[in-house]
Structure 1
Amino acid sequence: MNSGSTRKPESTLSPRKAPLLLLLAALGLLSGCNLPSAALNPATSTLISARQTQAAGTYPSPTPIFREEPGPLQTPPSLTSPEPVPPQLPVLTPTATLEMPVPEGMRLYYSQSGDTLAAVASHFLARPSELQLPLALDEQELLPVGTPILIPDNFPAEPAYPQLALPDADILFSQGSGSLDLEAWIEQGAGYLAGYHQYISGQRMSAAEIIRLVAVENSINPRLLLALVEYRSGWLFSFPQELEDYQYPIGYYAPKVTGLYDELTVTARLLGQGYYGWRLGTLDHLTFRDDSEAPIHPALNAGSAGIQNLFAALYTPDLFWDALYGQQGFLALYTRLFGEPWARAALQGTLMPAGISQPALSLPFLPGLTWGLTSGPHISWQAGTPRGALDFAPRTGERGCYLSSTWASASAAGLVVRSQRGAVALDLDGDGDEGTGWVLLYLHLAPEERVAVGTWVEADAPLGHPSCEGGVSTGTHLHIARKYNGEWIAAEGPLPFILDGWQAYAGVSGYGGWLIRNGETVVSSATRDSASEIRRDP
Structure 2
Amino acid sequence: MSILILSACSPQPPITVYITPFPLSATEAPAQQPTALATRPVYQPGTLVAYTARTGDNLPALAHHFNTTVKEILENNPQLSEKTTTLTPGENLQIPIYYEALWGNSFQIIPDSLYINGPAQIGFDTKSFVNAHPGWLKNYASLAGGEVRRGADLIDYVSLEYSISPRLLLALAEYQAGALSVETLEPQEKVYPLGYEDEFHQGFYLQLLWAANTLNNGYYSWRSGKLDTITRLDGSIEHPDPWQNAATVALQNYFSQVLPVADYHKAIYSEGLYNIYTALFGDPWQYTSDHIPGDLQQPPLRLPFVPGKTWSYTGGPHSAWGEGAPLAALDFAPPSVVGGCAASNEFVTAMADGQIVRSEKGLAMLDLDGDGDEHTGWVILYLHLGLNDKIRPGMLVKTGDLIGHPSCEGGSATGTHVHIARKYNGEWIEADSVVPFNLEGWIAKNGVVPYQGSLSNYGRIITASDKGLANSYITAGNP
Asked if Structure 1 and Structure 2 have the same fold, meaning a TM-score greater than 0.5 normalized by the shorter chain, the answer is yes
* Residue 345 (structure 1) aligned to one of 288, 292, 300: 288
1:122 and 2:76 matched: no
Query: What's the counterpart of residue 48 of structure 1?
Result: 10
2: distance between equivalents of 1:121 and 1:458? 40
Structure 1 pair 90–143 and aligned structure 2 pair: CA distance change class (3 A): farther
Please say if 1:464 is aligned against 2:426: no
Contact kept, 8 Å, 1:425 with 1:440, in 2: the verdict is yes
Instruction: Please state how far the C-alpha of 1:83 moved relative to its aligned partner.
Output: 5.7
In the TM superposition, what whole-angstrom CA distance separates every residue of 1:159-213 from its partner, at most 9, and x where no partner exists?
2311111111111111142532121122221321121111125421111221111
Contact 2:214/2:254 (<8 A) preserved: yes
Residue 487 in structure 1 maps to residue 423 in structure 2: no
Distance in 2 between residues matched to 1:377 and 1:103, nearest whole Å: 35
Contact kept in structure 2, 1:87 and 1:331, CA below 8 Å: no
Q: How far apart, in 2, do the equivalents of 1:493 and 1:514 lie? A: 14
1:441-460 maps to which residues of 2 (within 5 A)?
Answer: 441-460=381-400
- 2:228 alignment partner in structure 1: 284
Tell me the TM-score normalised to structure 2 length: 0.89
Bigger Cα displacement from structure 2, 310-319 vs 369-378? 310-319
How does the TM-score come out when normalised to structure 1?
0.80
Contact residue 207 and residue 260 of structure 1 kept, 8 A: no
Q: 1:473 to 1:380 in 2, by over 3 A?
A: same
1:239 equivalent in structure 2: 183
Please point out which of 93, 117, 123 is paired with 1:179: 123
CA contact 2:45–2:97 (8 Å) conserved in 1 = no
Q: Which amino acid aligns with 2:171?
A: A
CA distance in 1, matches of 2:353, 2:83: 32
SS in 2 for 1:314: coil
Question: By how many angstroms is 1:334 displaced?
Answer: 0.5
In structure 2, C-alpha distance between the alignment counterparts of 1:107 and 1:353, rounded to whole Å: 23
Which stretch of the first structure deviates more once superposed, 420-429 or 192-201? 192-201
Question: Aligned runs of 1:66-215 on 2, under 5 Å?
Answer: 84-89=29-34, 105-131=47-73, 132-138=76-82, 141-155=85-99, 157=101, 159-177=103-121, 179-215=123-159
Structure 1 residues 153 and 521: CA distance shift in structure 2, 3 A:
closer
Give the distance between the partners of 1:229 and 1:469, measured in 2 at CA: 30
Which aligned pairs between 1:420-435 and structure 2 lie closer than 5 A? Answer: 420-435=360-375
Identity of aligned pairs, percent? 38
AA of the residue aligned to 2:313: L
Q: Which of the residues 434, 447, 456 maps onto 1:507?
A: 447
The one of 296, 299, 319 equivalent to 2:240 is: 296
SS at match of 1:320: helix
Partner of 1:534: 474
Q: Does 1:318 align with 2:262?
A: yes
Let me know the Cα RMSD of the aligned residues. 2.5
Q: Which among 364, 385, 400 is matched to residue 304 of structure 2?
A: 364
CA distance in 2, matches of 1:121, 1:253: 36
Match of 1:373 in 2: 313
Once the 2 structures are TM-superposed, how far is the Cα of residue 218 of structure 1 from its aligned partner? 0.6
Deviations 1:355-395 (A, max 9, x none): 22100100101112111111122222222422221111111
Provide the C-alpha distance between the structure 1 equivalents of 2:263 and 2:285, rounded to a whole number of angstroms: 25
Q: Which letter maps to 2:67?
A: L
Q: 1:423 to 1:119 in 2, by over 3 A?
A: same
**Equivalence for 1:18:** none
Structure 2 CA distance for partners of 1:451 and 1:125, relative to 1, 3 Å = same
- Structure 2 match to 1:64: none
Spell out, residue by residue over 1:48-102, the C-alpha distance to the aligned partner (whole angstroms, 9 max, x if none).
25169xxxxxxxxxxxxxxxxxxxxxxxxxxxx986123543799xxxxxxxxx9
* C-alpha distance in 2 between matches for 1:162 and 1:214: 29
- Residue 391 of structure 1 corresponds to 331
Deviates more, 1:112-121 or 1:170-179: 170-179
Following superposition, the deviation at residue 529 of structure 1 comes to: 1.6
Q: Is the 8 A contact 2:315 2:330 kept in 1?
A: yes
Question: After the TM superposition, which of the residue ranges 422-431 and 314-323 deviates more from structure 2?
Answer: 314-323
What letter corresponds to residue 323 of structure 1 in structure 2?
A
Q: Cα offset for 1:141?
A: 3.0
The Cα of 1:485 is off from its aligned counterpart by 1.1
The residue identity in structure 1 corresponding to 2:48 is M
Distance apart, 1:472 and its partner CA: 2.2
- After superposition, give the CA deviation of every residue in 1:244-268 in whole Å (9 maximum; x if it has no partner): 1122331212221112221111111
1:256-295 to structure 2, matched below 5 A, reads: 256-295=200-239
| Paired residue secondary structure (1:275) | helix
The aligned counterpart of 2:462 is 522
Question: Corresponding residue for 1:74?
Answer: none
> Equivalents in 1 of 2:270, 2:286: separation in Å?
20
Deviations 1:408-446 (A, max 9, x none): 111001121211131111111121221211110000011
Instruction: Name the counterpart of 1:4.
Output: none
Q: What residue in structure 1 maps to residue 21 of structure 2?
A: none
Supply the distance in 1 between the matched residues of 2:83 and 2:355 (Cα, whole angstroms).
34
Q: How many residues align?
A: 457
Q: CA deviation at 1:227?
A: 1.3
Aligned to 2:40: none
1:88 to 1:461, Cα distance in 2 relative to 1, 3 A? farther
Q: Which runs of 5+ in 2 are unaligned?
A: 15-25, 38-43
2:62 partner letter: V
